[in-house]
Structure 1
Amino acid sequence: MFGLAAGQAFRSADGALERAAANSDQLVRIQAIQTNVVQADADATNAFLVGGLEPAAQRADYTAAIASASQLIAEAAQHQPADGPALGALNEALVSYASEIEQARANNRQALPIGAQYLKDASANLRSDALPLLKNLVDANDERVAEEFDRAGQASGWLVGAGLLSMLVLVLGLLWLARRTRRYLNLPLAAAAVIVLVTLVVGAAVLVRVSNRVEEAQSGVYAATLSTAQARIAAFDAKSNESLTLIARGSGAAFEKAWQASDAVVTAELGELGQNDASSGLDPLPWSDYTAVHQQIRTLDDSGDWEGAVELATGTGSGTGNATFAGFDASSAEQLAGLSDQTGQQLDEAGRWLPLGGALGLLAGLLAAGCAWWGVSQRLEEYR
């Protein structure tokens, strides 16, 4: 029984880490969908400001973002069936959004004012239908990851409980045999107790170390990965609201307020990154470069220079809104990929020896049982 419990302890920890890694991958996948969706909206709204035929690069970026989001939705549904219904509803919302954007484009190319309304409706529906679904999916998968991390830390309970019970039985057996047979020590039975004790101590130490490494990953690279992803999502949302403010032409106070809310999220997440030891060696993400340009855009627009504000928001030269935002986009994407890889590597390293530990725990239990049988059989032979 001790061998089975020891094997189960290591097997439970190993399974929990595998599920945590799978759920972590799913969470990153869902956040990638979020990023692609808001990135597509940022591209569509910014390109709309240009008027007529939008820039080819932005159109290509928008198309790639929509295609990537659709592909990731299909992959996410395959990897986590529990997310299937929500992902199905998300796919419908994305198709509806893309359809409204095409209507907005068609009208904008003909200089029809109704195109702006189609665009605003598409963006509003995206935020009311798709983004809440994505938030719920992120919360659900984050909860699954946390549960598996907890299970990995609690796996030692199998080993400790069975080990203490086995030690009690073996010690009582030694005492009973000593009194019954007038022999002070039964070496094989004592060896069984030593095997159980060593397995208990070493196994518990290994599982505690695994638990510590899991906690370190959870509060370190995993938390940094989530912060970076959330900062990117909020950043693209801010970029979209910046364009919507200009599209509204004097009546975009609500969009500017939404921009400020997104900016607060980015700033908070970057603050979390700054306090996280896992990201201490990384270069700060250049969000302030973009926010400084945004303030210039707002100053121009508020002073009546709408054309100047649009030119600064849609330009691609140095110091423009698109250029500074592209710097943040590239830096944060590279950082997110690196942190995500580190999370997987740390979880793999934490559980690398757990299958071997399970096999050794089972073997130790069988060996201890053999020694106990041998010890008792010696006393029986003396009576025979």
Structure 2
Amino acid sequence: MTLTAGTAQGPRTEGETPPPQEAIVPAGSGSGPDGREGSPTGDPGPEPHPGQQAVAARAALRRRYWASVPARLRLLRAATVLLAAAVAVLLTVAGLAANGMWDGVAGRDAPRTTSAADLDLALNDMDAQAANILLSSGDAGKGRLRTPYEKAVGFYGDARREIGHDLRTLAVAAQGNGSDEKTVENLTDDFAEYQELIGRALENDGRPGGKPSALADYRRATDLLQSSLLPASRRLVSSNDSVFDAKYTAARSALSGQLAATVALGVLLLAALGALQWYLTRRFRRILNPPLLAATVCALLAVILGAQMLSSSAANLRGARRDAFDSVVALSRARAIAYDANADESRYLLDPQRRDQYARAFLAKSQELYGVKGATLSSYDSELATTWQAYESDHHDLRFTGEFRRELDNITFPGERAAAEKTVDAYVVYQGDDRKIRALLAAGKESEAVEFCMGWQPGTSNAHFGAWMAALDKVTGINRAHFTASVDAGRSAVTGLLPWAGGLLAVAVALTALGLRPRLAEFR
């Protein structure tokens, strides 16, 4: 058979496949004469729309991180690790903040407040002992009441040293607070003037016939105390206590927020572990992955321990501040007021010209301690007995006010109520002694009144005052002990639970990786 030139094919038999033919490119198609795609002139054509680019990018990410089984496992593993790390970081930051909070509470906030309260007490005590020295010294030693005088001299020196220590402590504590710095500076200057006046009074008292001059100097000193020193010291008590209270409120709020965040992240972590377990069960037809189950248990325990650490810190902080320290402040104020009232009795006997003034001051301080509405010195005892008897019959029947009421409203710890009630019982006895002193003086028995006021024998006013202060100190001691116990428990909660929570989270991460390793190996 002759083949014709340019002919590509001959007759086809049935079923024979025709040979491929050259593709015909229509005019205006996307390939130019130089072989490049696009227009015949070589233009690349229109750019894709930004929305199309975003869709393409999401599709690419999906193919990379989710489309395949290994990608899904790696993504769930990464989510688990990140959530575990977030919980660990949150608990670590919260634990460090809690430790700092306890250091501040025990080492700064509470001591500042108690130092200010101790200053208030020591100022009152120093002035009371100065009055007692003048009252018991006689005339240049003649007719001196030896035991009351020697005790007064000793207590006076103790109070003066305590004031110096408290002023130094408060000066350090006030740094950075302009108002408190100025208050401490003024207190220091006024105290120097006060000491000079008292020193002059004691010097004049040592000379025969010098009692009137000594009394004049003492009046100026005690006026300075009442007008400047005591108000300033009480402002410091309130200022430092307010700072402590503000820090307490902020710390409680922070702990609440950290607890909520820990629970939320913990729920997400457990959900991620649960999703991973579910996916493995569904994809690989396994009922459970033991390492992953163990990781879930570890994560759950870590979240529980972390939440317990934060909730325990909040509870112990409330116990330290509200249950214990609020009572410590009230009782410290009560003690300072008691010393001031006791000094008013000595001033009353020492200075006949001011007896009415000091009697009114004693009643005012009695009302600050145990307030009975409308009571006078003549009616106070009967009102005190009636209202206290009502309380003893029904602890909800509180018809009185004052610092003792504040303490009885905040009874929290075992033995605290009984100790507080004994304090008021001792206070009732002391108030009876005051009326006896005034009655002896009214009957012209001044020397007997002075001996009963300043004596230390059983049954005298000073002995009863000492019993009252011992009862008051016992209540304060109960609250101080529980304050310390709450601080220690708060620190222990952090140091005891935080390492366990962190360790369990690390184990959970390791077990998650261990549980996924065989499954990922199947795709290599």
Q: TM-score scaled by structure 2?
A: 0.64
Counterparts of 1:248-267 in structure 2, within 5 Å, are: 248-267=351-370
Counterparts of 1:131-146 in structure 2, within 5 Å, are: 131-146=230-245
Larger mean CA deviation between 134-143 and 96-105 belongs to 134-143
Residue-by-residue CA offset, 1:194-239 (whole Å, 9 max, x unaligned) = 4333322233234323433433343433333223222210110101
The question of 1:118 aligning with 2:217 is answered yes
One-letter identity of the residue aligned with 2:257: G
Root-mean-square deviation over aligned CA pairs: 3.3
Residue 376 and residue 138 in structure 1: after superposition, are their counterparts in 2 closer, same or farther (change >3 A)?
A: farther
Contact 1:12 1:155 in 2 (8 A): no
- Map of 1:18 onto structure 2: 103
Contact 2:319 2:486 in 1 (8 A): no
- Map of 2:493 onto structure 1: 353
Aligned residues: 384
- Map of 1:8 onto structure 2: 93
- Map of 1:280 onto structure 2: 417
How far apart are the structure 2 equivalents of 1:189 and 1:98?
76
One-letter identity of the residue aligned with 1:127: Q
Is there any run of 5+ residues in structure 1 with no aligned partner, and where? none
Q: 2:203 aligns with which of 94, 97, 106?
A: 106
3-state SS of paired residue (2:404): helix
Q: 2:193 aligns with which of 85, 90, 96?
A: 96
The question of 1:48 aligning with 2:134 is answered yes
How far apart are the structure 2 equivalents of 1:232 and 1:191?
59
Residue 90 and residue 365 in structure 1: after superposition, are their counterparts in 2 closer, same or farther (change >3 A)?
A: farther
How far apart are the structure 2 equivalents of 1:156 and 1:374?
35
- Map of 1:246 onto structure 2: 349
How far apart are the structure 2 equivalents of 1:66 and 1:260?
27
Contact 1:17 1:152 in 2 (8 A): no
The structural deviation recorded for 1:63 is: 1.3
3-state SS of paired residue (2:492): coil
Contact 2:305 2:501 in 1 (8 A): no
The structural deviation recorded for 1:302 is: 4.5
Counterparts of 1:329-344 in structure 2, within 5 Å, are: 329-333=469-473, 335-337=475-477, 339-344=479-484
Q: 2:268 aligns with which of 154, 164, 168?
A: 168
How far apart are the structure 1 equivalents of 2:159 and 2:111?
19
The structural deviation recorded for 1:383 is: 4.4
Contact 1:159 1:200 in 2 (8 A): no
How far apart are the structure 1 equivalents of 2:277 and 2:298?
19
The structural deviation recorded for 1:78 is: 4.7
The structural deviation recorded for 1:330 is: 3.9
One-letter identity of the residue aligned with 1:63: G
- Map of 2:116 onto structure 1: 30
- Map of 1:66 onto structure 2: 160
The question of 1:205 aligning with 2:304 is answered no
The structural deviation recorded for 1:37 is: 1.4
The structural deviation recorded for 1:373 is: 4.9
Larger mean CA deviation between 327-336 and 29-38 belongs to 327-336
Larger mean CA deviation between 3-12 and 45-54 belongs to 45-54
Contact 1:30 1:137 in 2 (8 A): yes
How far apart are the structure 2 equivalents of 1:281 and 1:11?
39
Larger mean CA deviation between 48-57 and 132-141 belongs to 48-57
Residue 160 and residue 335 in structure 1: after superposition, are their counterparts in 2 closer, same or farther (change >3 A)?
A: closer
How far apart are the structure 1 equivalents of 2:266 and 2:304?
13
Residue-by-residue CA offset, 1:74-128 (whole Å, 9 max, x unaligned) = 2454567457724343333222211111112223334342322221221121122
Larger Rg: 2
Larger mean CA deviation between 94-103 and 341-350 belongs to 341-350
The structural deviation recorded for 1:164 is: 1.5
Residue 260 and residue 232 in structure 1: after superposition, are their counterparts in 2 closer, same or farther (change >3 A)?
A: same
How far apart are the structure 2 equivalents of 1:31 and 1:73?
11
| Sequence identity (%) | 20
Residue 302 and residue 30 in structure 1: after superposition, are their counterparts in 2 closer, same or farther (change >3 A)?
A: same
Contact 2:258 2:310 in 1 (8 A): no
- Map of 1:235 onto structure 2: 338
Contact 1:17 1:148 in 2 (8 A): no
How far apart are the structure 2 equivalents of 1:277 and 1:8?
32
Contact 2:98 2:494 in 1 (8 A): yes
How far apart are the structure 2 equivalents of 1:138 and 1:13?
25
One-letter identity of the residue aligned with 1:328: W
- Map of 2:82 onto structure 1: none
Contact 1:11 1:358 in 2 (8 A): no
Counterparts of 1:145-224 in structure 2, within 5 Å, are: 145-150=244-249, 151=251, 154-155=254-255, 157-168=257-268, 171=271, 175=275, 182=283, 187=289, 191-224=294-327
The structural deviation recorded for 1:374 is: 5.2
Contact 1:297 1:309 in 2 (8 A): yes
3-state SS of paired residue (1:319): coil
One-letter identity of the residue aligned with 2:346: S
The question of 1:130 aligning with 2:229 is answered yes
Contact 2:334 2:369 in 1 (8 A): yes
The structural deviation recorded for 1:70 is: 0.9
The structural deviation recorded for 1:169 is: 5.8
Contact 1:20 1:144 in 2 (8 A): no
- Map of 2:404 onto structure 1: 270
How far apart are the structure 1 equivalents of 2:313 and 2:267?
24
How far apart are the structure 2 equivalents of 1:336 and 1:344?
12
Contact 1:9 1:157 in 2 (8 A): no
The structural deviation recorded for 1:303 is: 5.4
3-state SS of paired residue (1:366): helix
Ranked by relative contact order (alpha carbons within 8 Å, sequence separation 6 or more), the top structure is: 1
Contact 2:270 2:299 in 1 (8 A): no
One-letter identity of the residue aligned with 1:135: R
Is there any run of 5+ residues in structure 2 with no aligned partner, and where? 1-85, 371-401
Larger mean CA deviation between 134-143 and 60-69 belongs to 134-143
Larger mean CA deviation between 344-353 and 169-178 belongs to 169-178
The question of 1:313 aligning with 2:453 is answered yes
The structure in which a higher percent of residues are helix is 1
Residue 160 and residue 209 in structure 1: after superposition, are their counterparts in 2 closer, same or farther (change >3 A)?
A: same
Residue 324 and residue 167 in structure 1: after superposition, are their counterparts in 2 closer, same or farther (change >3 A)?
A: closer
The structural deviation recorded for 1:260 is: 1.1
Contact 1:45 1:243 in 2 (8 A): yes
Residue 250 and residue 134 in structure 1: after superposition, are their counterparts in 2 closer, same or farther (change >3 A)?
A: closer
One-letter identity of the residue aligned with 1:136: R
Residue 259 and residue 193 in structure 1: after superposition, are their counterparts in 2 closer, same or farther (change >3 A)?
A: same
Q: TM-score scaled by structure 1?
A: 0.84
